[in-house]
Amino acid sequence: MKPREQYMESLRQLKNEIMKMGILVEEALSKAMKALTELDSDLAESVITEDMMINRMEIEIEDRSIALIATEQPVAGDLRHVITGMRIVTQLERMGDHAVHIAKSTLRFECKAFKKPLIDISKMAELCISMHREVLSAFMDEDEIRARNLVDLDDEVDSLHEKVQRDMFTGMVEDESFLSQALQLTYISRYLERFADHITNISEWIIYGKTGNHVDLNG
Amino acid sequence: MGIAKNDIVLEIKNLNFYYGELQALININLEIKRNTITSIIGPSGCGKSTMLRCINRMNELIDDTRTEGEIFYDGRNIFDSDVDPVKLRRKIGMVFQQPNPFPKNIFDNVAYGPKMYGTRNRQKLREIVEISLKKAALWDEVKDRLLDKSLSLSGGQQQRLCIARTLAVEPDIILMDEPASSLDPIATMRIEQLLREVTDDYTIIIVTNNMQQASRISEYTAFINAKERRSGFLVEYGRTQDLFIKPQMKQTEDYISGRFG
Ligand SMILES: Nc1ncnc2c1ncn2[C@@H]1O[C@H](COP(=O)(O)OP(=O)(O)O)[C@@H](O)[C@H]1O
Ligand SMILES: [Mg+2]
């Protein structure tokens, strides 16, 4: 038998659980965006109820990590990866919350259609989802280079967010009936921008896990 | 390594050690910082005990051994012909794995060294015994029974008595070879606590098989690995925190993570 086989297996399982949680978060955002663009309140409701699952996973993964630290006393790379995992699930949980916020905003729309198609917001969501997939596979492969490269996409999300804010503001000034719609869309843009920030936070933790160095990618 | 020259109390340079044909230590280089605890970790048989015994020249008492290289203490190579090994061992004391008190009473165990080095005054001896037992965190437990046989003490108390006995001759450096490995967790904790408390006055080099213990108590850690399970070489030496969170060498990472064998 290889030394510490059980322990290595626990580390692998922990990583798999984090991946599963990550996939749930991706589904939550995809659904929330579909519910928004199609103004589908049933789908929006389901995003809100399914978030409980994400919250539960955060606690479960944290408990397992703590138990692993207490019983196996990981050190060096193993320790950094367990800590990284705990930080990542905190980020994922908040990202799930942003999907919920988008779903709740959707429920607040009283209109039957948008004044203009949601081009920039959809683009932001697409970027968020591909960033999210990339960060999860960087986590899986412990690839700090790919994690680091995500800042470029985050910059794109940031500038789209600024553009949406400007457009909505001009829209509100031009047409007062657009006010409440524009406000909700501004919030949604803000949630997406935050979602992407959490992804770069995850990137920072992946880099820490691999190298032991703290970096600031949002600075 | 980042230790200022005047903070170095002991400098081991190109140390090779042989038991007959067997080379037990291969070119060890290590600088020990004054008033700190340095842990030596490594698989069994890698030469940790051998290295400690080089530092106070105890290996010379073993037949058919050979030492190469230098160990500087107080600016002098301890292997120089004019260094008196008995005097050296007073300055560099040693505590062993198995508590080995003399079959005498508690007082005499601690007073033994000072007497041997010439302290005759009873009052002075009593002071030394009290101070040493206090430093070894044993005084409160034995102050009313100083004339009891040392073997009436528990294992943990016996080990602290041995530490008191070592402290009584006012050493500079204390070498400890797995001093807590035969003790229960509470006795171990007491020893660890007392080691932390005495580093204002002493430099401690401790061999331990318990990596949590190394990471808990020491400021620096040296990892020695064994070639063919019997010839030790230094793999990595640095601040304990760095070594346990961010080791530089894969061998170190594998060893401390339990991925060896
Ligand atoms: N007195 C001795 N005579 C011959 N070989 C010895 C003696 N003491 C130790 N050795 C050998 O030297 C090597 C290192 O031993 P030691 O210093 O006791 O290692 P450690 O303390 O790291 O377990 C081992 O291979 C051991 O068998
Ligand atoms: Mg030994």
pLDDT tens for B175-198 read 999 999 888 888 899 899 999 999
B252 lies within 8 A of chain A by CB: yes
Q: What is the SS3 assignment for B109?
A: helix
Q: Which residues contact A83 (CB under 8 A, 6 or more apart)?
A: A208, A209
Say which of B212, B246, B261 has its CB closest to residue A76.
B246
The minimal CB distance from B245 to the residues A4, A7, A212 is found for A212
Q: Which has the closest alpha carbon to B240: B100, B38, B69?
A: B38
Task: With cut-offs at 50, 70 and 90, classify the pLDDT of residue B15.
Answer: very high
Nearest ligand 1 atom, CA B20? 4
Which pLDDT score, from 0 to 100, does residue A2 have? 64
Q: How far apart are CA B260 and CA B250, in angstroms?
A: 11
Helix (H, G, I), strand (E, B) or coil at B95: strand
Residues 6+ apart with CB under 8 A from B60: B67, B85
Predicted local confidence at residue A171, as pLDDT:
83
Whole-prediction pTM: 0.84
* Ligand 1 neighbour B47 (Cβ under 6 A): yes
Ligand nearest to the CA of B53: 1
Token pair, residue A23, equals 């996939």
In degrees, rounded to 5, the angle at the alpha carbon of residue A118 between the alpha carbons of residues A112 and A120 is 165
In this structure, which residue's CA is closest to atom 6 in ligand 1? B19
The CA distance from B38 to B175, in Å, is 10
Tokens of B205: 């080099």
| Residue B144 reports pLDDT greater than 90 | yes
Cβ of B215 under 8 Å from any chain A Cβ? yes
Residue with tokens 């199609």: A38
As given in the structure block, the two tokens for residue B79 are 């292997």
| Residue B232, SS3 per DSSP | strand
pLDDT at position B4: 76
pLDDT at residue number B261: 53
Phi-psi region of B7 (alpha: psi -120 to 50; beta: other; left: phi over 0): alpha
Given a cut of 90, whether residue A32 has pLDDT beyond it is yes
Which pLDDT value is given to residue B6?
A: 79
Q: How far is CA B145 from the centre of its chain?
A: 28
| Cα R_g (chain B), whole angstroms | 18
B180-to-A76, B67, B256 alpha-carbon distances in Å: 24, 29, 19
Please judge whether B256 and A73 are an interchain contact, meaning their C-beta atoms are less than 8 angstroms apart: no
> Which among B218, B244, B242, B232 is positioned nearest to B1, based on CA atoms?
B242
Please state the atom number of ligand 1 nearest to the C-alpha of residue B47: 17
Q: How far apart are CA A33 and CA A52, in angstroms?
A: 18
Statement: residue B48 has pLDDT above 90: yes
Given a cut of 60, whether residue A187 has pLDDT beyond it is yes
Could you identify the residue written with the tokens 């040392």? B150
| Nearest in space to B28 (alpha carbons), one of B8, B9, B47, B4 | B47
Q: What strands, in cross-sheet order, belong to the sheet with B203-207?
A: B76-77, B65-73, B8-19, B22-33, B231-239, B220-227, B37-41, B203-207, B173-177, B92-95
Question: Domains of chain B (ranges plus CATH)?
Answer: 5-256 (3.40.50.300)
Q: Which ligand is nearest to the CA of B47?
A: 1
What does the alpha-carbon distance between residue B174 and residue B154 come to, in Å, rounded to a whole number? Answer: 22
The mean of the pLDDT values for chain B is: 93
Residue A174's SS3 state is: helix
**Confidence band, pLDDT 50/70/90 cuts, at residue A170:** confident
With a pLDDT cut of 70, the percent of chain A lying above it is: 98
CA–CA distance, A90 with B240 (Å, rounded to integer):
29
Chain A interface includes B150 (CB < 8 A) = no
Percentage of residues of chain A with pLDDT beyond 90: 80
CA–CA min distance B216, chain A (Å): 12
The DSSP letter of residue A212 is: S
Q: How confident is the model at residue B2 (pLDDT cuts 50, 70, 90)?
A: low
The pLDDT value given to residue B227: 84
> What letters, b where the CB count within 10 A reaches 16 and e where it falls short, cover A190-202?
ebbbbbbbbbbbb
Give every CB contact of residue B179 below 8 A, 6+ residues apart in sequence: B95, B96, B97, B159, B163, B191, B206
Q: Number of A:B CB contacts under 8 A?
A: 33
Beta bridge partners of B67: B17
Q: pLDDT tier at A3 (50, 70, 90 boundaries)?
A: low
Question: Any idea what DSSP says for residue B105?
Answer: B
Instruction: Check whether A175 has a pLDDT greater than 90.
Output: no
Mutate which of B21, B50, B52 to test ligand 1's pocket (most atoms within 8 Å of Cβ)? B50
ipTM of the complex model = 0.73
User: Which of B232, B228, B231, B206 lies closest to B217, judged by CA?
Assistant: B206
Residues in chain A with CB shorter than 8 Å from the CB of B245 are 75-76, 79-80, 212
Pick the CATH number of A3-211 from 3.40.50.620, 1.20.58.220, 3.30.230.70, 3.40.1650.10: 1.20.58.220
Give CA angle at B259 (B254, B261), nearest 5°. Answer: 110
Q: Ligand 1, closest atom to CA B50?
A: 17
Distance CA A70, CA A68 (A): 5
Tokens of B44: 């069994």
Smallest Cα distance from B2 to chain A, Å: 19
Answer yes or no: do A74 and B211 touch at CB < 8 A: no
DSSP B179-217: TTTTS-HHHHHHHHHHHHHHTTT-EEEEE-S-HHHHHHH
Q: Are A131 and A149 in contact (CB under 8 A)?
A: no
Task: Summarize pLDDT for A55-102 with one digit per residue, the tens.
Answer: 999 999 999 999 999 988 999 999 999 999 999 999 999 999 999 999
Cβ pair B252:A80 closer than 8 A: no
pLDDT at residue B229 is higher than 80: no
Q: Give B244→chain A minimum CA distance, Å.
A: 5
**Cα A60 from Cα B23, distance rounded (Å):** 52
Chain B residues whose CB is inside 8 A of the A77 CB are: 253, 257
CB contact under 8 A, A7 and B211: no
